[in-house]
Amino acid sequence: MSTAATTETKPAPPPVDTIKIKVDGREIEVPKMMPDWQGNLQPTTMLQACQLAAKEVPHYCYHPKLPIAGNCRMCLVEFGLPAMGPDRKLLLNEDGTPKITKQVLPYEPQTPRGAIACATPISPGMEIYPSSPATKQMREGILESLLINHPLDCPICDQAGECKLQEYSVEHGQATSRFVEAKVHKPKAVDLGPRILLDDERCILCTRCIRFTKDIVGDDKLGVVNRGSYNSIAAFPGTTFDNNYTLNTVDICPVGALTSKDFRFQMRVWFLKESKSLCTSCGTGCNLTVGSREDKIYRFEPRENNAVNGPWMCDAGRLNYKWVGRADRLTEVLVQDVGQASRLSHSSEKSKTGATPVLRKTTWTAALSEITEKLKKVPAGSVAIVGSARQTNEELFLLGKLAKKLGALTDSVPREGEADKLLVSADRNPNSTGARLTGLCFTEMGIHLPKIADGIKAGKIKTLIVFGEDVTKHGFGPDLLGRLDTLIVSDILPNATTRLAHYLLPGCAHAEKRGTFVNVKGRLQKFIKAVEPKGDARPEWEFLHELVHHVTGHNGFVSIEGLFNQMAHEVPAFHGLEWAKIGDTGVTVQI
């Protein structure tokens, strides 16, 4: 069996230096060094050690992928260190255990001194008390401070339900506040940029948004203005906060200060169904969570995958969901009546006058049998297939089977854009790698398209199967398509090609089906269905599977799992993979 595909290729880790510490009285051994926000090994912090000990340390400003700020003070914990004598030797208790000195304020020895767990490195023998009364009192104090000037507008706040201030107030806060003064009032609904609105009163000034923008995106747009309790987040005067990653600040904002103009006031988050999916806007394949309710998509949010996108995604990809719910979606199986199709083949005059062929609604069964009949009769080499690198591996694999049976020339359409330094890839197809690995197209995508066009022109190619591409924009004008005997088209939204189709098969958005993509770096990732397809639309792999079965006579699998496993068996790059073993974050394949 080939080992082309592996779940993760890492060299054997070197032996790890460990430190023994106690967390809430329980001794654990933790690595001396752990990755910091950039992945560099640094001395393990109290917070990391507590996480390893499965003890929660609440925090606001700390984020594992951002530089440490230490400003919220929520992660303050009481701690103790081994006591040392004047000879720098450990002092022991009577039972031989090391004596621990609980840390206190130097000027007030009866008061415990907390350390911020996010920035304090551990040391051998250290004892951390994340559940002690002193630690709890510190948290209560911080929460009280955070709440005194925070508007209690949870009922109309978009963050409600996923708000750390709410959650920690319930878990670690007090039921009442002593505050009887007037609250500080700050700007509301500040227009930071095209996609972001800021409520300065809700802001707890953790500076996550500033650090993300500065240190991850490399944009110095955000900063703090004013002083003390009047501190406010603001974009640099005269500028707008408009880079392609601004919406990530909404995700990492622990409160409802930064809100997405697109999502605000649209839906309470607890009504949203969350489905693990992928972004299809470029070849990076950012992992995302689809938030939907009653088959309507309300938002995309990045889903952490450190092999691909970390916890981030770009704004363009995140907002690229509205087309799924468009009213003009293709929802019917349509066929041109016999005779009309032949008329089409010499109807260049008609297309000039703008007349469109008349399409009749039919059923999947009828359409697929008609197509099968036609394909069974065509001579080898008279069919061409233009697939799409927006299709899944499974669909491309099935198209490849069809192509093999029919001796068809295949290719797909390249889509290029400008790459950035963070996530956006120059390849704007989500599955170019998959299209190559499954054999539908070659290293240089689109190189066969002129050949196919020439074949149609020469009358050699009489049947064209198009999936998910408007070929009229890629060298196949209406005149050329008019020469075909049969034009079979599957797509999601109407375009010039779908209007000329003899058979129009309505397909699904990725959010409406399951499948896998391979990103530009060779990460094979799966996505699951979030919403139901519209009307009669069906996942392409389902009807392609039927078609392939009818045309080739080969039996196949009717489930995506079986289909994937069959593909893994037949496509060399996927050898050894199984659907069930891909996991939520995918696997790396050899490309």
The beta-strand segments (E) located in 199-250 are: 222-225, 232-235
Q: At what angle do helices 133-148 and 164-172 cross, to 10 degrees?
A: 140
Q: Which of 75, 122, 204, 563 contacts another protein by CB under 8 A?
A: 204
* Site membership for another protein, residue 138 (CB under 8 A): yes
The closest of 103, 585, 588 to 302, measured between CA atoms, is 585
* Residue 236 in contact with another protein, rule: CB under 8 A: no
Torsion, Cα of 536, 464, 414, 289 (10° steps): 10
Per CB under 8 A, 110 contacts another protein: no
Determine if 145 is a binding residue for another protein (CB under 8 A).
yes
Residues 311-330 that bind another protein (CB under 8 A): none
Asked whether 507 and 364 are in contact (CB, 8 A), the reply is no
Q: Does 591 bind another protein (CB under 8 A)?
A: no
Q: Give the Cα separation of 169 and 141 in Å (integer).
A: 11
Q: Is 38 in the site for another protein (CB under 8 A)?
A: no
| Using rule CB under 8 A, residue 122 touches another protein | no
Q: Which helix (H) or strand (E) holds 76?
A: strand 76-82
Among 97, 111, 306, 356, binds another protein (CB under 8 A): 111
* DSSP-assigned states of every residue in 345-367: HT-HHHHHHT----EEEE-HHHH
**Of 87, 77, 71, nearest in space to 55 by CA:** 77
Tell me: does residue 580 bind another protein (CB under 8 A).
no
Nearest residue (CB) to another protein, 117 versus 286: 117
Token digits for 226? 């004013």
Neighbours of 171 (CB within 10 A): 11
Query: Can you tell me which of 41, 224, 358, 558 binds another protein, judged by CB under 8 A?
Result: 224
Smallest separation (angstroms) from another protein to the CB of 196: 21
Closest to another protein by CB, 7 vs 71, is: 71
Position among 231, 239, 266, 369 found at the interface with another protein (CB under 8 A): 231
**Binder among 18, 51, 71, 266 for another protein (CB under 8 A):** 71
SS3 22: strand
Stretch (H or E) spanning 465: strand 463-467
What does the alpha-carbon distance between residue 225 and residue 236 come to, in Å, rounded to a whole number?
9
Instruction: Using CB under 8 A, pick the residue from 63, 65, 73, 374 that binds another protein.
Output: 73
Nearest residue (CB) to another protein, 220 versus 416: 220
Quick check: 47 binds another protein (CB under 8 A)? no
Stretch that binds another protein, among 113-121, 273-281, 429-437, 464-472 (CB under 8 A): 113-121
Pairwise CA distance, residues 61 & 166, whole Å:
15
Query: Where does this chain bind another protein (CB under 8 A)?
Result: 68-74, 76, 105, 107-108, 111, 113-114, 116, 119-121, 138, 141-142, 144-146, 148-149, 178-179, 181-185, 204-205, 223-224, 226-231
